[in-house]
């Protein structure tokens, strides 16, 4: 069988190591659809996988990459035909299944959706799991009745992948967006994405010192968790909603029930990995219509497979800005 290129993770007593390697296609896992991968992307979870953290990978050697866009080489009798352009996010691809940091992947057809025609391959991966999750969060706020005009909507971890896309989408939809970030130097970047103002991490953390603060945020998208989520819950407006998707600042949550029972605040949990197909179609179609593509392009960097390995520490340290697309053929 033909060879393909991949980042291969191997585990030894010294830990997990990563290297770009040439592999035979017969090493790909079983699955009905063979995909020629064009691009993947770098998410926080990819950083964890590349560094062997978080207990996400069960078996080594392993090919990481939780997202991919590519062309079907062999549909294997599924609804997909050779030449179809497909996208895969979640379903634990790149964690328990070999993923997109490779020029070929074999996947289950149930995990694939047709790539949106309105988005280029690079834009599709600039969105990736991070952008997909950001849109799920926006949909959750809408489902809880939070409308443009209701007041400030906070996005925490705004400089990261989920945060950047969330700011851009909310601003395009007409929301009054506040970027929550530990990086004051990114103020110009947040304004370009459409944020009206910046609030620092310390200020958000301080809010959590009392069970209730003055009502400020009509809605919030939280990618950080921990003390930041505890803090913002206290400053939600009456009947406000928070879409919580991340733990970049910690998995813990210390709070009281006061925001829930006095202000009727909703805390909505967001998971992208096992999202059902019907929701996936909605999310991609809303991304195609509501994400300003020029802003996405401006927030996107492109690197090759080799360079992706070196970015794992940076994304875990919270120092990557916006979205990083991996050109697996570079």
User: Strand pairing of 176-181 and 197-200?
Assistant: parallel
Closest approach of ligand NAP to the CB of residue 249, in Å: 3
Closest approach of ligand NAP to the CB of residue 48, in Å: 8
Taking the least distance from each CB to ligand NAP, the nearer of 28 and 287 is: 287
If one counts every other C-beta atom within 10 angstroms of the C-beta of residue 283, the result is 23
Enter the DSSP assignment of 62.
B
Taking the least distance from each CB to ligand NAP, the nearer of 37 and 158 is: 158
Taking the least distance from each CB to ligand NAP, the nearer of 115 and 283 is: 283
Closest approach of ligand NAP to the CB of residue 46, in Å: 8
Helix axes 121-143, 161-172, angle to 10 degrees: 70
Taking the least distance from each CB to ligand NAP, the nearer of 37 and 48 is: 48
User: Strand pairing of 104-107 and 33-42?
Assistant: antiparallel
Closest approach of ligand NAP to the CB of residue 90, in Å: 7
Alpha carbon distances (Å) from 271 to 99, 224, 225 = 19, 14, 14
Closest approach of ligand NAP to the CB of residue 293, in Å: 19
Distance in angstroms (rounded) separating the CA atoms of residues 31 and 45: 23
Taking the least distance from each CB to ligand NAP, the nearer of 116 and 163 is: 163
Closest approach of ligand NAP to the CB of residue 28, in Å: 25
Distance in angstroms (rounded) separating the CA atoms of residues 72 and 83: 5
Taking the least distance from each CB to ligand NAP, the nearer of 34 and 220 is: 220
Distance in angstroms (rounded) separating the CA atoms of residues 229 and 223: 9
Nearest partner of 166 among 20, 292, 69, judged by Cα:
292
Interface residues toward ligand NAP, by CB under 6 A: 43-45, 129-130, 133, 157-163, 181-183, 201, 223-224, 228, 245-249, 270-273, 315, 318, 320
CB closest to ligand NAP, residue no = 160
Enter the DSSP assignment of 233.
H
Query: By the 8 A CB rule, do 175 and 196 touch?
Result: no
């Amino acid at each position: 069988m033909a060879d393909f290129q991949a980042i291969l993770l191997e585990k030894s007593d010294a830990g997990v190591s990563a290297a770009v390697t040439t592999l035979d296609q017969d090493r790909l896992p079983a699955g009905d659809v063979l995909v020629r991968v064009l691009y993947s992307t770098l998410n926080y979870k990819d950083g964890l996988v590349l560094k062997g953290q978080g207990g996400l990978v069960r078996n080594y050697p392993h090919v990481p990459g939780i997202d991919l866009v590519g062309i079907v080489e062999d549909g294997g009798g599924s609804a997909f035909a050779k030449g179809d352009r497909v996208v895969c996010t979640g379903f634990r691809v790149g964690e328990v299944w070999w993923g997109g940091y490779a020029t070929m992947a074999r996947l289950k057809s149930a995990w694939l959706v047709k790539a949106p025609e309105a988005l280029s391959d690079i834009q599709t991966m600039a969105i990736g799991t991070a952008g997909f999750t950001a849109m799920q969060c926006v949909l959750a706020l809408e489902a809880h009745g939070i409308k443009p005009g209701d007041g400030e909507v906070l996005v925490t971890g705004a400089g990261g992948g989920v945060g950047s896309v969330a700011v851009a989408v909310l601003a395009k939809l007409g929301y009054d967006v506040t970027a929550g970030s530990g990086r004051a130097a990114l103020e110009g970047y947040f304004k370009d994405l459409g944020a009206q103002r910046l609030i620092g991490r310390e200020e958000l953390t301080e809010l959590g010192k009392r069970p209730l603060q003055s009502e400020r945020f009509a809605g919030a998208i939280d990618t950080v968790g921990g003390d930041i989520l505890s803090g913002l819950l206290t400053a939600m407006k009456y009947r406000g909603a928070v879409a919580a998707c991340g733990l970049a600042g910690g998995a813990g949550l210390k709070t009281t029930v006061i925001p829930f029972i006095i202000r009727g605040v909703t805390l909505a949990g967001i998971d992208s990995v096992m999202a059902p197909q019907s929701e996936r179609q909605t999310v991609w179609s809303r991304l195609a219509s509501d994400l300003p593509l020029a802003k996405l392009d401006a927030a996107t960097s492109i690197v090759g497979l080799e360079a992706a390995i070196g970015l794992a520490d940076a994304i875990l340290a919270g120092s990557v800005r916006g979205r990083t697309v991996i050109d697996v053929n570079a």
